[in-house]
Structure 1
Amino acid sequence: MASTAPVTTKKVTTNLHAKDLNGNDFQAPDYSIAELINVIPKDCFKRDLIKSLSFVFRDIFFLILFGYIANTFIPQIPSKNLRFLAWSIYTIIESFPMVGLWILAHECGHQAFSEYGLINDFVGWILHSYTGNPYFSWKISHRKHHQHTGHIDKDMVFIPPRTKDWKKKHNVLSLKEVTADAPISTIITLIIQQVVGFQTYLAIDATGQKHPELEERWIDQFKASHFNPNAPIFDKGDYWLIVLSDLGILTTLFVVYQWVINFGWFNCMVHWFIPYLLVNHWIVFLTYLQHTDITVPHYEDNEWNFARGAASTIDREFGFVGEFFFHDIIETHVLHHYVARIPFYNGRKATKAIKEFMGDNYRHSDESMFITLWKCLRSCEFVEGDNGILMYRNHNNIGLTPIDN
């Protein structure tokens, strides 16, 4: 189930232009996926099981090391307030290698971990279950995301609304009618997205495509859950894989229950549950900013193809944490959407090759991702366009004024 580029090349309009939010000219890519893949050095495609496993053991080592240091030294801090601060800092640090394990499971789902499919799925199932993510369910929906990245009607996550849908959600006929305090609204959106965003995506397919076959009652949205073998996001043949994913989560919950019984709720809280919540925060934080930017387009079906969709992503920088603990998932994400089977440790070399080939179609930003997060939430509210390219606009008077205002 690895994500791969389509064999056929869809005909689209060449020399297609649009204006991004800043009014800068954007030209949709006209190269083929085959042309891009040909510039990647062949050794980048090599998947080394031993090397991949070494990163699993390395992340587990740091999980244990950080936990040992915390258990040894934090209880000795005499001040209750300082102990609280120390435990808080520890949970953040402990989440870093836990995210690393999540990302290595993600590599397994793309078959980038090794050349052996059964080993990939076994390792991925174990790691994703531990980090609270249903492995096969995520693998299946994530594969479809890769197959239709940037497609306004077929992508699977972080799909921006069109102007009319945004107005309908806010119950207005014109953008001029919106009177809500935008900064406060943005803060509320930020909190919800970063605290429970990933859980709601798994539970009800939030930010995914609409499911008109489901009733509009909120409880019916759970029928689109990643935990439901009959959810519309899956095919009939996926049923038992979803059951296996759920079994992994149930096993983890049983282990967590035993953890609490034997070591107490506080021990489980600081060593697993809070880091688990932070893992979900980091995954939402990263994936949202990998696919959302004032320069990133979406496409109508008639102008979308795989090469254009894969370019509708952006590489960002997250310093030492991104490179060491998050396994370069932020810094080489454009490449990842073109060839997901390339293992992350070959990503920088391959990114260098496609960057030179893509030219202006390659996107990269080294701005602080926390600053960018605020900017994107304020600037990238909905998309519009009249030639098959849909670019971000907003009602906050940031950048170009929407056509439908």
Structure 2
Amino acid sequence: MTTSTISGKQEARDFGNSDLKLKDIIKTLPRECFVQDRRKAWTTAIISVLMVSLAYLSLIYSPWFLLPVAWLFTGTALTGFFVIGHDCGHRSFAKRRWVNDVVGHLFMMPLIYPFHSWRIKHNYHHAHTNKLDEDNAWHPIRPEVFEGWDQVKQSAFKVFITKRLWWVGSVGHWAVVHFDWRKFQTKDRSGVKLSVAVVAIFAAIAFPTLIATSGIWGFVKFWLIPWLVYHFWMSTFTIVHHTASDVPFLEASKWNAGIAQLFGSIHCDYPLWVEFLCHDINVHVPHHISTAIPSYNLRMAYRSIQENWGTYLHNECRFSWSLMKQITDQCQLYTTDSGYQSLNDYYAGR
């Protein structure tokens, strides 16, 4: 076991009491974890293309009563497209930047996800994981922020969190964050404009063609519902990756990158068919230790992390309705230096 100034999960919950550095963790990983294998990368991409093609064939030929199964299969396979783009966004798919950019745009294009704007915002999440007021992924709402909202926004939040609507969260994030290039630094705006143009052109061609050939129902059947299933997985992966009642979000002065990435990133097991179609995106801890690790090396890296840093890791979990119920019941508001509380506890304490 690698030594550090703290040990044990209880100490790991206190992000600020360690001089552990992220580079210390990275140094313990096998060098093979960082090796980009062109054959494995393109095999992963081809598998995704084949699975999405098979999924759309199932949509074409399935009787009406099997459509829900076909939609689930198609949306999950499309999530694999996103994971390919995800590797490209971290430059871990290919060694050449232009290859990453081209492949990233192609695989995220059917999802109407602007590649560069997502890449920039997502890398910011990695640099500030579980840091209050900085992490731009699924971050907790503090009571003082909640109190500053008007009644309409408070009511919408209550419905969203208490009615277990976590699965639409990614849709809102997609719509609000990724299309307005004015929200990005000047140096990044040309890339963001390019990515927005790519998905706009795709939508302008694909959507009218789909409607003209198969009608409004065809648009709903072949694109909208699979796209919503994709966002179900996006929302689910995002909230589960960093949310548990004992996972802290800290202010910058108390935040430690090494502990945040180890204890603040959660490994969750999903059904094997989901993990296969989504290229092990659920093996999330090593991805937060280093984004240079390609998706096909995540399990190798995680075994090393378990061996060397297991004391610091959050308990693993398994995806289920009870897990999502637990998260949405307990992790509603977040009090600085105290942790999560439910809305019921918040109102009871006022």
Q: 1:395 to 1:261 in 2, by over 3 A?
A: closer
Q: Deviations over 1:234-259 (max 9, x none)?
A: 21111111111111211221212212
| CA displacement at 1:185 relative to structure 2 | 6.7
What's the secondary structure of 1:36's corresponding residue?
Answer: helix
Equivalent of residue 276 in structure 2, options 307, 310, 324? 324
Paired position in structure 2 for 1:202: 174
Paired position in structure 2 for 1:295: 246
Paired position in structure 2 for 1:396: 344
| CA displacement at 1:293 relative to structure 2 | 0.6
Equivalent residues, number: 339
Q: How far apart, in 1, do the equivalents of 2:223 and 2:348 lie?
A: 48
AA in 1 matched with 2:136: M
2:51 corresponds to 1:103: no
Equivalent of residue 48 in structure 1, options 34, 37, 41? 37
Q: Deviations over 1:278-333 (max 9, x none)?
A: 11121011101111111211111111132133231211010213320111111x21
Gap runs ≥5 in structure 1? 1-13, 75-82, 172-177, 205-224
Paired position in structure 2 for 1:346: 297
Q: How far apart, in 1, do the equivalents of 2:9 and 2:55 lie?
A: 49
Q: 1:245 to 1:165 in 2, by over 3 A?
A: same
Q: 1:404 to 1:360 in 2, by over 3 A?
A: farther
Q: How far apart, in 2, do the equivalents of 1:403 and 1:18 lie?
A: 30
2:186 corresponds to 1:236: yes
Equivalent of residue 286 in structure 2, options 335, 346, 364? 335
Q: 1:148 to 1:183 in 2, by over 3 A?
A: closer
Q: How does 1:51-200 map onto structure 2 within 5 Å?
A: 51-74=40-63, 83=64, 85-169=65-149, 186-188=161-163, 190-191=164-165, 193-195=166-168, 197-200=169-172
Q: How far apart, in 2, do the equivalents of 1:365 and 1:68 lie?
A: 36
Paired position in structure 1 for 2:13: 26
Larger Rg: 1
Gap runs ≥5 in structure 2? none
| CA displacement at 1:17 relative to structure 2 | 11
TM-score (norm 1): 0.76
What's the secondary structure of 1:150's corresponding residue?
Answer: coil
* Equivalent residues of 2:114, 2:198 under 8 A apart: yes
* Equivalent residues of 2:62, 2:70 under 8 A apart: no
* Equivalent residues of 2:250, 2:336 under 8 A apart: no
Q: How far apart, in 1, do the equivalents of 2:159 and 2:187 lie?
A: 45
Q: How far apart, in 1, do the equivalents of 2:272 and 2:97 lie?
A: 31
| CA displacement at 1:266 relative to structure 2 | 2.7
Q: How far apart, in 2, do the equivalents of 1:42 and 1:25 lie?
A: 26
Q: Deviations over 1:21-46 (max 9, x none)?
A: xxx98343542212211111101101
Higher mean displacement: 334-343 or 248-257: 248-257
Q: How far apart, in 2, do the equivalents of 1:18 and 1:348 lie?
A: 22
Q: How far apart, in 1, do the equivalents of 2:9 and 2:300 lie?
A: 31
What's the secondary structure of 1:392's corresponding residue?
Answer: strand
* Equivalent residues of 1:17, 1:27 under 8 A apart: no
2:230 corresponds to 1:279: yes
Paired position in structure 2 for 1:258: 209
AA in 2 matched with 1:309: A
AA in 2 matched with 1:198: S
Q: How far apart, in 2, do the equivalents of 1:375 and 1:72 lie?
A: 38
Q: 1:356 to 1:279 in 2, by over 3 A?
A: same
| CA displacement at 1:73 relative to structure 2 | 4.6
Identity %: 23
Q: How far apart, in 2, do the equivalents of 1:226 and 1:379 lie?
A: 29
* Equivalent residues of 2:59, 2:71 under 8 A apart: no
Q: 1:348 to 1:16 in 2, by over 3 A?
A: closer
Q: Which one has a larger percent helix, Structure 1 or Structure 2? A: 2
Q: How does 1:4-19 map onto structure 2 within 5 Å?
A: none
2:313 corresponds to 1:357: no
| CA displacement at 1:132 relative to structure 2 | 1.7
| CA displacement at 1:18 relative to structure 2 | 11
What's the secondary structure of 1:156's corresponding residue?
Answer: coil
* Equivalent residues of 1:379, 1:396 under 8 A apart: no
Q: How far apart, in 2, do the equivalents of 1:314 and 1:170 lie?
A: 33
2:26 corresponds to 1:37: yes
